[in-house]
Amino acid sequence: MKVLYVVLMMVACLGCHGQTKTKMNDTHTNPLLCDTTTGTCDVPGQTTAGTNQVIPQGKKPVTIVYYTDPICSSCWGIEPQLRKLKLEYGAYIDIDYRMGGLLPDWSYNSGGISKPSDVAHHWDDVSKHYEMPIDGDVWLEDPLDSSYPLCIAMKAAQIQDKDKAIKYMRIMRERLYLDKKNMAKWDNLADAAVAAGLDVTKLKKDFDADARKLFQDDLDYARKLGVRGFPTMFFSDGEGQQLMVYGSKPFSSYENALLAIYPDAKKNLLTMQTQCPCLPITQRLR
Amino acid sequence: MSLFTHYPTLTVKEYAVILDITTADAQAALEKLYKEGKLDKKTIKNGSIYIKK
């Protein structure tokens, strides 16, 4: 089966890298920082090979497999584009949220980054670059040991309700980036789950069991797809046509990828006047 | 305001990108809604997020 495969390299990259604990120890690469001088965020030893994997078709014409992590600041940076994509083309796309495991732990020392406090200034810079509010002081005041609890909590939420899970991740991010909450702590994850309308008792049960397996499945699938950083989106029609958009890109890059896969997609025009009264209440997006 | 039916919280940048307007225009529009009492706002050192009431 012919697979169309395009890599759109980052131009102004502030993307994030995810890797398994083994890979992290092998490469000594800091996953929370990127090389802004080269504009790329390649993980040593990772290639883009492996994308001959065909992504199965969803219920809508285009499936987007979105590799992210709740603490990926570049993923926070593309929230505007992603939200616009959902509003304008939501009728044509299913987004499959996959967790990348950006920060297994702090067992490395490279690139001037050896401890959580080193990330604080970087996040402030990222905030200015993307014009999205981030307070990096969380890394000074109550730093996260790992992003794994957030990733596993997201998988546990998906077991309950995929729409609520999307809302959950948004709340996690707002509390991390704006409220400086250490979202790796269970109490904070539980509070956010309540705000997202999730059943916290079930979330905890799934967090301790099935969600860990689902998270590992995401990590394994990432390797098969050749994911080497975040955000990474694979646009697929389920029949062999696939496009990958890697890193933070302008909205047009995501739109063009979608239209290349499904040219019949028609945009829901949004203006200051209409502000999209077009979607029924059942299609509310988070 | 109807964007907040879809997304209960929006940053200035999100509002601007979604509506294809400048961040200055987005900021002005959101501030107007905030001052009219239609939105809440949370401000941190690197920006604000507007919240549906």
pLDDT in tens, A198-254: 999 999 999 999 999 999 999 999 999 999 889 999 999 989 899 999 999 999 999
Residue with tokens 């920006």: B47
Query: What's the confidence (pLDDT) of residue A24?
Result: 33
B13 and A80 within 8 Å at the Cβ level: the answer is: yes
Give CA–CA dist A159/A207, Å, rounded: 10
Output the CA–CA distances (angstroms, integers) from residue B11 to A119, A171, B30, in the order listed. 23, 13, 9
Amino acid in the structure at residue B18: I
pLDDT at A35 over 60: no
Strand order in the sheet with A7-8: A7-8, A242-246, A232-236, A62-68, A93-99
Residues of chain A with pLDDT > 70, as a percent, come to 74
Q: pLDDT tier at A271 (50, 70, 90 boundaries)? A: low
Residue with tokens 């939105």: B39
pLDDT at A23 over 90: no
Q: pLDDT tier at A53 (50, 70, 90 boundaries)? A: confident
Chain segment A148-204, per-residue pLDDT in tens: 999 999 999 999 999 999 999 999 999 999 999 999 999 999 999 999 999 999 999
DSSP code, position A183: T
Give CA–CA dist A76/A169, Å, rounded: 10
Amino acid in the structure at residue A62: V
Nearest to B47 among A132, A170, A286 (CB): A132
The pair of structure tokens assigned to A222 is 């990432």
User: b/e per residue, B25-34, with b = 16+ CB within 10 A?
Assistant: ebbebbeebb
Q: Which residue of A73, A127, A132 to mutate against B (max B Cβ within 10 Å)?
A: A132
pLDDT at A284 over 50: no
DSSP code, position A30: -
Q: Which positions in chain B touch A80 (Cβ < 8 Å)?
A: 11, 13-14, 16-18
Identify the closest residue of chain B to A196 by CA–CA distance.
B8
Q: Quick one: which of A150, A239, A159, A225 has its CA closest to A198? A: A159
Helix (H, G, I), strand (E, B) or coil at A98: strand
Strand order in the sheet with B39-44: B9-11, B47-52, B39-44
B6 and A284 within 8 Å at the Cβ level: the answer is: yes
Higher pLDDT, A137 or A109: A137
Beta-bridged to residue A193, according to DSSP, are none
Q: Quick one: which of A207, A211, A228 has its CA closest to A51? A: A228
pLDDT at A90 over 50: yes
pLDDT at A269 over 90: no
Q: Quick one: which of A55, A66, A45 has its CA closest to A4? A: A55
The pair of structure tokens assigned to A42 is 């390649």
Identify the closest residue of chain A to B19 by CA–CA distance.
A271
Identify the closest residue of chain A to B24 by CA–CA distance.
A131
Helix (H, G, I), strand (E, B) or coil at A74: helix
A162 to chain B, closest Cα gap in Å: 16
Highest mean pLDDT among A111-115, A123-127, A215-219: A215-219
CB proximity A282 to B under 8 Å: no
Helix ranges (DSSP H) in A238-278: 251-261
Q: pLDDT tier at A51 (50, 70, 90 boundaries)? A: low
B49 and A272 within 8 Å at the Cβ level: the answer is: no
Q: Which residue of B4, B5, B6, B41 to mutate against A (max A Cβ within 10 Å)?
A: B6
Query: What's the confidence (pLDDT) of residue A18?
Result: 45
The pair of structure tokens assigned to B5 is 């039916």
Q: pLDDT tier at A22 (50, 70, 90 boundaries)? A: very low
The parts of chain B modelled with pLDDT lower than 50 are none
B47 and A284 within 8 Å at the Cβ level: the answer is: no
Helix (H, G, I), strand (E, B) or coil at A242: strand
Size of interface A-B (CB pairs under 8 A): 76
Give CA–CA dist A233/B28, Å, rounded: 33
The pair of structure tokens assigned to A225 is 């797809």
Q: Which positions in chain B touch A73 (Cβ < 8 Å)?
A: none
Q: Which residues contact A65 (CB under 8 A, 6 or more apart)?
A: A55, A96, A98, A225, A233, A234, A236
Identify the closest residue of chain A to B7 by CA–CA distance.
A286
DSSP code, position A82: H
Among A18-22, A36-40, A77-81, A186-190, the range scoring the smallest mean pLDDT is A36-40
